[in-house]
Amino acid sequence: MGLIWSKSEYKLSPEMLKEVKIETGFTTRQVNRLFSRFQQLDHDNTQYLTKEDLGHIKEIILNPLGDRIVDFFFVGNSEYLTFPMFARIFAIFRPLEKHTPDSEINSRESKLKLLFRLADSNEDGSICKEDLFELLEMMMGAKVGEEQLHLIVDRVLSEADEDQDGLINLNEFRKVTKDLDVETKLSFISFS
Ligand SMILES: [Ca+2]
Ligand SMILES: [Ca+2]
């Protein structure tokens, strides 16, 4: 038998389908679509993705926080992304329904936490001036000059930093983003 014949596409097992559905709240159809997407990205049929593979996702390339999001997929510096890990991240981006409880993986609270973690580039649990500068620089691109960015950073920090320790913690972040439309900022992957 030649090599070409042994390169068969692997399938999503019923057990994994069930597990992913329970964990993410996706329907069977959605999990299947996500799985074919996973397979498309997995060019060499290894059943896991690398950072390079993720670099082909259009929504990620176009997102100003794309690189951060890719890093976020690879939790704990793991080099390999399996399908359940892949599905879990997409689940956070799943749009909110009317009364999504905070415990749900796609709740406003998990999206907010994700945004906070994306902002906290040195992963020390708070957003400092440098984190904020980097974040805004990425989000606003070249449209805003450095000087102006510094002004914006100072303003955001003085508004958000209630206990005046020079850092924005998760609680302060939650308050300052109270009116922010987290939904449209992060629900960039739709299944409709
Ligand atoms: Ca930080
Ligand atoms: Ca603070």
Q: What is the pLDDT of residues 15-67, one digit of tens each?
A: 999 999 998 888 999 999 999 989 988 988 899 999 888 888 777 777 777 77
Q: Cα(137) to centroid of ligand 2, in Å? A: 21
Question: Quick one: pLDDT band at residue 181, thresholds 50, 70, 90?
Answer: low
Evaluate whether 12 touches 84 at the Cβ level (below 8 Å). no
Burial of 174 from C-beta contacts in 10 A (0-12 / 13-18 / 19+): middle
User: What average pLDDT score do residues 165-180 get?
Assistant: 88
The ligand with the least distance to the CA atom of 123 is 1
Q: Cα(94) to centroid of ligand 1, in Å? A: 26
Which string of DSSP letters, residue by residue, matches 28-66?
HHHHHHHHHHHHHH-TT--SSB-HHHHTT-HHHHHSTTH
Q: Cα(162) to centroid of ligand 2, in Å? A: 6
Q: Quote the CA–CA distance of 45 and 10 in Å, as a whole number.
A: 8
The ligand with the least distance to the CA atom of 167 is 2
The ligand with the least distance to the CA atom of 168 is 2
pLDDT of 187 over the 60 cut: no
The ligand with the least distance to the CA atom of 162 is 2
Instruction: Please tell me what DSSP assigns to residue 76.
Output: G
Q: Give the phi and the psi of residue 9 in degrees, each rounded to 5.
A: -75, 135
Q: Cα(62) to centroid of ligand 1, in Å? A: 25
Q: Cα(117) to centroid of ligand 1, in Å? A: 9
pLDDT one-digit tens code per residue, 58-80: 777 777 777 777 877 776 667 89
Q: Cα(21) to centroid of ligand 2, in Å? A: 38
Q: What pLDDT does 108 receive?
A: 79
The full set of domains in the chain, from first to last, is: 13-92 (1.10.238.10), 97-192 (1.10.238.10)
Output the six-digit token pair for 28: 């069977």
The ligand with the least distance to the CA atom of 124 is 1
Q: Tell the residue number behind the tokens 């997995």, with chain if given.
A: 42
Model pTM greater than 0.75? no
Q: Quote the CA–CA distance of 185 and 39 in Å, as a whole number.
A: 27
